[in-house]
Structure 1
Amino acid sequence: MRVGLEPMRDLAARLGDPQKSFRVVHVAGTKGKGSVSALIEAALGRAGLRVGRYGSPHVERVTERISVQGHDVDEPTLARALNQALDAYEAARAAGTPAADATWFDLLTASAFLIFREARVEWAAIEVGLGGRLDSTNIVDGEVAVVTNIELEHTEILGKTRAAIAGEKVGILKPGAVLITTLGTDDEAGRVLQAKADALGSRVKRTRVDASAPIAEINLALAAAVLGELRRKEVTGRSGEPVGAALLDSAARAAARLPGRMERFDVEIGRGRVPVVMDGAHVPFNIGAVLRDLALAPELSSPCVAIVAIAADKDARGFVAELAKRASTVLFTDLPGSSRGRSPAELKALADSLGLASEIEPDASHALKRGLELAAQANAWLLVTGSLYLIGALRGAVGKAAPTPEEAGAAPGFSRAPVGGSG
């Protein structure tokens, strides 16, 4: 874990501190960061404001991480910004200043800020990469800070308890800023958030949505709370009307759809179609919530076949235990493009101990083919989950095999990319 933000601050200073050219909503939390950020971006865009969004990780293309006016940046724009950031990095190396230790994520974050400045962005929804206190994004001065939720993740970096992790994530809160969260003071992590806010003289606003509510409803409540705070700050849209939760209409929700977040496809196989859901959930509480929400759709109420790859630092036993409640069979595969994945053999042993039928297919593309076959045979649906790296490796193939919702005659809400995913 890095010991300070000096490399990022030095890098930004060499670039003229582009992060000071726009106002910021800073979003942290275990899950939901991406979806909440996308909703904020879409709503402010509906108000006619110039808006940017920075998030991570990407699913298929690195350009997904940086959005302006609801559109991913193009490769030439990102390349220009990266070259500027690299020039600053090389200058720091020559001078021996802190930016000589800048990471790849520092460079990408600085590039996003450069792009926002060039695009004359007025507001940006900035998603934390990891933790918060020492994250590269934490050189911004967020007027509103969001901590969506706190669960055990990256414990070797952020801490072994929810309270410790909360201390890292609430590190994005700045003096006098407003903190928005789902966590109350009856929760150990929520008490850490409140204590930090008290120390900084910051107000805390909590959503009134039950923790068992659908993920999309929780995400919408958080985004609505942000817009409510911006209204209190007398932020207005291009027409002069105050911004507010009313901006989260169906058009904004549609614009906020992200790949790999409860994303649904209908894949043709033989003479039939297999419903496929792709979600990057990677912690137990989140996959449990995803499965609970998906069960509300009649076409997804039956047991599923799952394709799973999980990083080595995740709670694999807890994750597989949640899957065992809804999956009939799980195919364990290698984590594509990474050496940090749990071995499929280890995951199968966990499934065996839980009485869950499973197979090993190290190659992700072969696992997809096998999963579709099993789902078709069982008249089941297919879930691809455990990592956005896995989603990124398979999403293109699934998309090519799936007709558009119009071609499929899909019912409302059953689409290739629904709103309000888990990421």
Structure 2
Amino acid sequence: SEKEIKPRYPDSLDEYYAFLELLGNPQEGLRGFHIAGTKGKGSTAYILSEILKSQGYRVGLFLSPHIFDIRERIQINGEWIGEADFARHMEKIKPYVRARGWRSVFEILTTMAFLHFKEKEVDFCVFEVGLGGRLDATNVIRVEDGIITSISLDHTHVLGDTVEEIAREKCGIIKEGMRIISQPQRRSVERIIRKMVREKKAGVYFLGEEIPFEVVRASLNGTEFYFADRKYTVSLIGRHQALNVGVALASADMAGVVEDEEKIEEALKNLSFPGRFQILKDDPLIIADGAHNVDSARRLKETVEEVLGENVSLIYGSLRRKDVRGILGVLKDIAKEIYFVPVNSPRSHTPEHLKEEAVLLGISGEVCETLERALSFASRNPPVLITGSLYLCAEAVKLFSAPPVPGRP
């Protein structure tokens, strides 16, 4: 897997810059947006690309991780990179990997995105940071606009043990003269962002402070909010999704690319992003959400309480290096029963381990060897919520719908 192949986090981007130089610096000349944060950056990147697309632009989108197919990480106007283009770019990159020695899977995919977007002459590209910001492979791009989504604890073994340390790494995307849009942050994080913006002679605008913003309500039909005194409805469910839309709208507006507000409103009503409070079945109600840290678990709990108004049968699976105890400590308050399942990954916790962690919190639950078996039990007592990992959500989506058409997410 990608995580097993990548043995270390780089000390600098110098080696990667040298590698890109051999390929003619494909990252140069790309116009677009760079998005960092702990939670919501994937949703925000997708939303921003849809906003730009609604205005008639040709938009390259780079996301991670993938859910169904590695090619979905590199998209243009919603279409995945084709198999032939993927193979051709890989053949071009391969000799340079051999010449320079080891390169991570993420760096190779990032390079492929640069090559593909440049070749296809996109108007804008939207890059989601893979991990951190300062030393992430995507941070070699030079764009005018950046977004920082909610910052909280995650990947502490790499990025630091405190939210403030993590914020400094995320703020590594801030470069001289950039326009930065940020979601609301805890005060200590906001201070760090404002300080780094001043140092880089950049500009920063916070949702709810410099940018007027207010969430009205979330329901199973979507989420309503006011942005700069205009009311919007987005099909994505949850107040946190309104925040993601808010920063995407603000960034597009600041970049001067918004021409037709009505087309944006129409696009926002038709968004669909897998594994984000996604309704898989109406009767019985089955929902999948990729919450995998404590902060996202809190947001998920708030969404369940507001949108459903009742407790759920919880199906939970997790990868290693996640704060299982912290997450279960939050989700137990909305669970009427819990089923522990494996995730389809070599890095999965066993259901038995998850149950042991739960017992330490005084939580009881059942071990199931497969997601299907857990669903057979949980479906008798709906609503059902599948959570803990985007990879688990991917398994769930495949159970309830046909695999996506190649080329479209």
Which residue of structure 1 aligns with residue 314 of structure 2?
Answer: 306
Does structure 2 retain, via aligned residues, the 8 Å contact 1:38–1:257?
A: no
Q: Partner of 1:81 in structure 2?
A: 89
Candidates 14, 32, 40, aligned match of 1:6: 14
Tell me which residue corresponds to 1:43: 51
Determine if the alignment matches structure 1 residue 387 to structure 2 residue 403: no
TM-score under structure 2 length normalisation: 0.85
CA distance in 2, matches of 1:40, 1:158: 26
* Aligned partners of 2:31 and 2:143 also within 8 Å: yes
Give 1:46 deviation, angstroms.
1.1
Question: What is the deviation of 1:138?
Answer: 0.6
SS in 1 for 2:255: helix
Q: 8 Å contact 1:274–1:375 — kept in the other structure?
A: no
Query: What is the match of residue 276 of structure 2?
Result: 261
Q: What pairs up with 1:5-404 in 2 under 5 angstroms?
A: 5-90=13-98, 92-93=99-100, 100-183=101-184, 187-208=187-208, 209=213, 214-231=239-256, 235=257, 242-243=258-259, 247-254=263-270, 256-266=271-281, 273-297=283-307, 300-338=308-346, 340-361=347-368, 363=369, 366=370, 368-378=371-381, 380-399=382-401
Q: For residue 145 of structure 1, report the CA deviation from its aligned partner.
A: 1.2
Q: 1:10 to 1:246 in 2, by over 3 A?
A: farther
Question: Is contact 1:145–1:178 with CA below 8 Å preserved after alignment?
Answer: yes
* 5+ residue gaps, structure 2: 1-8, 218-237, 404-408
Give the Cα separation in 2 of the matches to 1:349 and 1:64.
36
What's the counterpart of residue 227 of structure 2?
Answer: none
Tell me, yes or no, if the aligned pair for 1:7 and 1:102 is still in contact at 8 Å: no
Between the two structures, name the one with larger relative contact order (CA 8 Å, sep ≥ 6): 1
Q: What residue identity is the alignment partner of 2:279?
A: R
Tell me how far apart the structure 2 counterparts of residues 332 and 44 of structure 1 sit (CA, whole Å): 40
For 1:245 and 1:144, how far apart are their aligned partners in 2? 20
Which residue identity lines up with residue 290 of structure 1 in the other structure? Answer: L
Counterpart CA distance in 2 for 1:102 and 1:383 is 38
Displacement of 1:30: 0.6
Residue type at the aligned position of 1:370: R
Q: CA–CA distance in 2 between the matches of 1:37 and 1:244?
A: 20
Contact kept in structure 2, 1:224 and 1:244, CA below 8 Å: no
Partner letter of residue 275 of structure 1? L
Q: Which moved more, 1:9-18 or 1:140-149?
A: 9-18
Corresponding residue pairs, total = 371
Q: Which amino acid in the other structure matches residue 219 of structure 1? A: N
Give me the whole-angstrom Cα distance separating, in 1, the residues matched to 2:351 and 2:303: 27
Instruction: Give 1:283 shift.
Output: 0.8
Q: Would you say the 8 A contact 1:324–1:354 is kept in 2? A: no
| Cα distance in 1, alignment partners of residues 345 and 84 from structure 2 | 25
The TM-score, its normalising length taken from structure 1, stands at 0.82
User: Per-residue deviation at 1:246?
Assistant: 5.7
Would you say the 8 A contact 1:52–1:116 is kept in 2? Answer: yes
In structure 2, the CA distance between the partners of 1:345 and 1:375, relative to structure 1 (3 Å rule), is closer
SS at match of 1:325: helix
Partner SS state of residue 278, structure 1 = strand
Equivalents in 1 of 2:152, 2:83: separation in Å? Answer: 35
Any idea what SS the aligned residue of 1:302 has?
Answer: coil
* Amino acid across the alignment from 2:189: A
Tell me the alpha carbon deviations over residues 260-297 of structure 1, each in whole angstroms, 9 at most, x when there is no partner: 12111117xxxxx3221111110112122123224433
Q: Is the 8 A contact 2:48 2:245 kept in 1?
A: no
Give the whole-Å Cα distance in 2 for the aligned partners of 1:244 and 1:153: 38
* Partner Cα distance (2:251, 2:326) in 1: 32
- Once the two structures are superposed, what CA deviation does each residue of 1:190-238 show, in whole Å capped at 9, x if it has no partner? 111111101000111000146997012111111111012112xxx4xxx
Please tell me the root mean square deviation across aligned C-alpha atoms, in Å. Answer: 2.2
Per the TM alignment, residue 352 of structure 1 is displaced from its structure 2 partner at its CA by 2.4
AA at the equivalent of 1:346:
H
User: Does structure 2 retain, via aligned residues, the 8 Å contact 1:305–1:371?
Assistant: no
Deviation for aligned residue 1:330: 1.6
Instruction: Report the secondary structure of 1:56's partner residue.
Output: coil
Residues in 1 aligned to 2:150 and 2:240: alpha-carbon distance in whole angstroms: 12
Q: Taking every aligned residue pair, what percent have the same amino acid on both sides?
A: 30
Three-state SS of the structure 2 residue aligned to 1:249 is helix
